Amino acid sequence: MDDPFAISLAECARLLSVTRKHIYTLIDTDPDFPRIFKLGRCTRVMRSEVLQYIANKAKGPVEVLVVKPAPELHRITARRALNAP
């Protein structure tokens, strides 16, 4: 069977490898997230827009978190190394 044009939010969550709760968070907070719409009682999103959203996020800047060790922790580790048998 061909891929559907519109997918449910659960299918969208599976496609993005996140929870449905996170999809609702993206809908509320990310202006770039694809528009959702109703088909009868079902909430849907366009599959092509979700794939484009993923591609755009992959092209964007990558956030890098640099963590420096606390000086006290470093000193404790150094002392333990000196006292080690």
pLDDT at 78: 47
pLDDT, residue 59, reads 81
Task: Provide the domain limits for residue 83.
Answer: 1-85
CATH number at residue 10: 1.10.1660
State the total domains in the chain: 1
User: Helices 9-16 and 47-59 sit at what angle, rounded to 10 degrees?
Assistant: 30
What is the average per-residue pLDDT within 52-60?
Answer: 85
Q: Is the per-residue pLDDT at 76 higher than 70?
A: no
Q: Note if the pTM is more than 0.75.
A: no
Q: Which of 13, 84, 15 is nearest to 55 (CA)?
A: 15
